[in-house]
Amino acid sequence: MKVSIIGLGRVGSTLAYTLLLKGAADELVLVNRTRERAEGDALDLQHAHLFIDSKIDIRAGEIADTAGSEVIAYCASAPWKDNFNNRLDAAVANTRLMEELIPALAEASPDAKLVVLSNPVDVLTWHAIRLSAFPPERVMGTGTLVDSARFRELISAQVGIHPSDIRAYSLGEHGDSQFLAFSGAEAGGEPLEDRPDRRAMFERATRAGYEVFNKKGCTNYAIAMAAAYVIETIRADARHTMPLSTLIDGTDKRGGYAGVAGVCLSVPVVVGREGIVRWMQPELNEEETQAFAHSADVVRAAIVGTLGG
């Protein structure tokens, strides 16, 4: 499988290394605004490849070299500015950058699955669908995948059950308005009770990204591992269920949640070789339905703020 990574900052470089370690691609093309950076990463990864058994062709390239990619991992971002307070503050700059890149990438690989890692991921996933003209099932953002995993880890320690046996999804925006769908959460088949201590755990899980960023200036390992998991699932047609940012269009097929339509938000989806193969329809209680609608309003306002700039 040919995978192209667009943007070789901390996240893109870590994703390339993770895919190498996992043997999750047969061909890896690295594209960066500064060609020399991509060449350096490619050379370093080629040297790392000498110590593992999997066979993978790794090279730097331009957008033309991504032609025929089965997966495009979009990690490109404008530089973070000191006056940015959250992910939404980067929306306009990253939208302008995406407008430069996505049409050419889509033309080079018209059948690709596009995985968006850059923030604000919900806004950019929406723009990626618009700019690529790909069907929504082939465009997905990493969304609340890491947030949900962090929460499951915290709950795992409390209830003494492995995180993989816990079903609990953070839904909505990958940002301050996301919420935990406690009404459908369960651990080992038992309902996961909505309690104040668990809400505090969820708050801790959702703020963890900011904590990491404040301490080291970026987040890269967890998001790269999450994106690699998505790509592995596509490669293997594994049909795993995970919360990803996807277009909510108000239909039964693609998330008929709370009358929301026209935005990208995280909901549980099934991922396979063709991208998103099924949108799950968890039953939300009244509070969660309102939270989902609020999250949609937040993302919709951010999208409007990026148009026509």
Question: Which residues are tagged catalytic?
Answer: 174
Which residues does residue 268 pair with via DSSP β-bridges, in sequence order? 243
Q: Which residue is associated with the tokens 């239909």? A: 251
SS3 label, residue 79: coil
For the chain, the distance separating the N- and C-terminal CA atoms, rounded to the nearest angstrom, is 37
Question: How many angstroms from the chain centroid is the CA of residue 298?
Answer: 18
How many degrees, rounded to 5, is the angle at CA 27 between CA 24 and CA 31? 105
Residue 288 contacts residue 183 (beta carbons within 8 Å): yes
Q: 288: closest CA among 189, 169, 148?
A: 169
Angle, nearest 10°, between helix axes 121-132 and 91-108?
A: 40
Q: What is the dihedral of CA 281, 285, 287, 290, to 10 degrees?
A: 40
CB 166 within 8 A of CB 192: yes
Query: CB-side exposure of 26: number of CA atoms within 13 Å?
Result: 7
